[in-house]
A and B are shown apart, each in its own frame.
Chain A
Amino acid sequence: MSENQETSSALSPAEQIAAISGPFRGSKQTTLSGLIDDGVFGKNPVFVLALSLCPAVAVTNSVQTSLAMGLSVWFVLSFSNLFTSIFRNYINPKVRMPAYILIIATLVTMCELFMSAFFPVLYQALGVYLKLIVVFAIILARAEVFASKNKPIPAFFDGFGMGLGFLIAMLVIGVPREVVGSGSFWGRPIFGEGYQPILMIILAPGGFITIGLFIGLFRSIGAARERARAAARLEGAGDAMEVKRV
């Protein structure tokens, strides 16, 4: 794998973003629950890593499509990480990207066939975005950054956590957008006749604004936690040194 490291100097933009935003460092997070926690909160694909914003804008205008997209990505991401990791020692580094795409495309096709068979309406509603899961930045990024360098079980749970984080993000964006923008939940009107939906929220600008506000929220929560931790550390240090108050 050391050869792999050297040949991969020309990173794609998605990989660079993933590398900057915090690749797996394997220190304290090696526990499986730590991996999942990281995917959902610490490195939430949409709100923290800001990867895969395209589906987060495009299909979150209703709860159903958000849920369907979230579940599909959850499935694909978990198993693409698993299989990438299983095959990691057999893939020639020079053709690793096509190999990853092959694995991901197989899973996406399974997902697609399943949805077109059992949920044809949802399949229609998702349209091209379901096929586009193949090239979602977050899936390629996890395959490149994590799965290709770790054992199958941690890789699976990394994908599981990231996918769960993605699913939660989709619902967090999708629920308010449908409720405000169409006045309905799960396709059923919830406010009665008099409600005048704010159309812009289900249009693209509304998607961007909603995501922007949630990213702001996530960052302010993160900053508050960081401050609290810093304060706790300071207090601990103060106790240890027994600083006298003047």
Chain B
Amino acid sequence: MADKNPTTAANERLLAPLLSVASSPHIRTRETIPRIMWTVNATLIPVAVWAVYIFGWRALLQIVVSGLAAVITELVIQKQRGVARTWHDGSAFLTGLLLAFCIPVGLPLWMTALGSVFSVAVAKHAFGGLGQNIFNPAHAGRAFLLASFPVQMTTWTKMASLAPSAVDGVTTATPLGILKEATKLGHDGMSEVIATFGSRQAMLESLFLGNVNGCIGEVSALLIILGGVFLIYKRYIFWQGPVFYLTTVALLGWVFGHKGLFTGDPLFQLLSGGLVLGAFYMLTDMVTSPITRRGQIVFAVGGGLLVFLIRRYAGYPEGVCYSILLMNCATPMIDRIFVAQPPRSDLSQTEGGQA
């Protein structure tokens, strides 16, 4: 039995009892899909409020349009398909909300709505609805918008801010955009980025607290991290996903800097772009990420590697969206390799468990 291939071993583990189930009575968990989904939505409210403060009322409009379009699409499709109508369970609204968080605030509203319809209709329901989709719907919607409207999706207009002193510094390009353009010309990009903020200190503060141009949901790493930590506390997501994802990006960004080995700026890599939002809210999507913690680690490290490769070597300034979509493809394979194992005491009784 020693020389059996890993797939057979994995299949045998699949056949082994996954959980020890005692006889009734059982305690029922109070967690339901609507409860989880609306909680996740609620943790994004601070981010949304801060985004409206930074970008003005237009940001709120984007969020409302995107969320409504997603919910209406879900309602219409569920009615049409004759399946259970769960449009109010918060999952469609979450898709819309997350999509709104990864588009520029100045995007025409009909494009936002179209992206949202695509997210729910094609990325979610064409695959069979909630729990069946291969790709994260919000990021699929963003990829659709980016491929369809490349100009509008990368135009960062300075918006009428509600903040007392309007956003200063970056107005027409995101920090990662400046970095990409500068490195294309053969410069070391970081000095250009830092120059737009004044100092490195100011740059990191802006990125952390949110005084920076970009997508709606990119504004504040702090508020996203707080929301994510709450989700980890509620055990809706594993901490392994975000931690390994962020660590991989920071580590690779530091080691392979633009000026040679160990010259990168890990904090800049961490805080810029949609990385934090992706790490806590997209990468950890229950449907499209691996089931086990070990699987999630592989998934997150792979995603981090892709983010680094795209940011450093590819044509796009930011790679969070594509990194997560690409890793979504690998999820079924990761799940085949890292199967949930029964507790140790059960293992000793079965031959297959020894492998």
Give residues of chain B (190-231) contacting chain A, Cβ–Cβ below 8 Å.
none
Q: Are A203 and B147 in contact (CB under 8 A)?
A: yes
Residues of the A chain whose Cβ atoms lie less than 8 Å from the Cβ of B316 = none
Residues of B within 8 A of A (CB-CB), count: 10
Q: Which listed residue (B108, B122, B126, B148) contacts A198, Cβ 8 A? A: B148
Does chain A have a CB within 8 A of B149?
Answer: yes
**17 extra A-B contacts, CB within 8 A, seeds A196-B111, A200-B147, A216-B126:** A196-B108, A196-B149, A198-B114, A198-B148, A198-B149, A199-B147, A199-B148, A199-B149, A199-B150, A200-B144, A200-B148, A201-B148, A203-B147, A205-B147, A209-B122, A212-B126, A213-B126
> Which B residues contact A (CB, under 8 angstroms)?
108, 111, 114, 122, 126, 144, 147-150
| Cα distance A155–B242 in the bound complex, in angstroms | 61
What are 20 residue pairs bridging A and B, where the CB atoms are less than 8 Å apart in the complex? Answer: A196-B108, A196-B111, A196-B149, A198-B114, A198-B148, A198-B149, A199-B147, A199-B148, A199-B149, A199-B150, A200-B144, A200-B147, A200-B148, A201-B148, A203-B147, A205-B147, A209-B122, A212-B126, A213-B126, A216-B126
Residue of A nearest to B152 (CB): A196
Q: Scoring A residues 176 to 216 as 1 if CB is less than 8 Å from chain B, else 0, what string do you get?
A: 00000000000000000000101111010100010011001
> Which A residues contact B (CB, under 8 angstroms)?
196, 198-201, 203, 205, 209, 212-213, 216
In this complex, which of B108, B144, B148, B149 has the most chain A Cβ atoms within 10 angstroms of its Cβ? B148
Residues of the A chain whose Cβ atoms lie less than 8 Å from the Cβ of B148 = 198-201
| Cα distance A213–B123 in the bound complex, in angstroms | 12
Residues of the B chain whose Cβ atoms lie less than 8 Å from the Cβ of A203 = 147
A-B complex: 7 closest residue pairs judged by Cβ atoms: A200-B147, A200-B148, A198-B148, A199-B148, A200-B144, A203-B147, A209-B122
A195 to chain B, nearest CB (A): 11
Residue of A nearest to B147 (CB): A200
| Cα distance A199–B114 in the bound complex, in angstroms | 13
B126 to chain A, nearest CB (A): 7
B114 to chain A, nearest CB (A): 7
A219 to chain B, nearest CB (A): 13
In this complex, which of B111, B126, B147 has the most chain A Cβ atoms within 10 angstroms of its Cβ? B147
A7 to chain B, nearest CB (A): 34
Residue of A nearest to B146 (CB): A200
Residue of B nearest to A212 (CB): B126
| Cα distance A216–B147 in the bound complex, in angstroms | 24
| Cα distance A200–B150 in the bound complex, in angstroms | 10
| Cα distance A200–B147 in the bound complex, in angstroms | 5
A216 to chain B, nearest CB (A): 7
Residues of the B chain whose Cβ atoms lie less than 8 Å from the Cβ of A209 = 122
A138 to chain B, nearest CB (A): 25
Residues of the A chain whose Cβ atoms lie less than 8 Å from the Cβ of B111 = 196
Residues of the B chain whose Cβ atoms lie less than 8 Å from the Cβ of A200 = 144, 147-148
In this complex, which of A200, A203, A213, A216 has the most chain B Cβ atoms within 10 angstroms of its Cβ? A200
| Cα distance A42–B108 in the bound complex, in angstroms | 43
Residues of the B chain whose Cβ atoms lie less than 8 Å from the Cβ of A205 = 147
Residues of the B chain whose Cβ atoms lie less than 8 Å from the Cβ of A216 = 126
A206 to chain B, nearest CB (A): 8
Residue of A nearest to B145 (CB): A200
Residues of the A chain whose Cβ atoms lie less than 8 Å from the Cβ of B150 = 199
Residues of the B chain whose Cβ atoms lie less than 8 Å from the Cβ of A213 = 126
| Cα distance A169–B228 in the bound complex, in angstroms | 48
A62 to chain B, nearest CB (A): 17
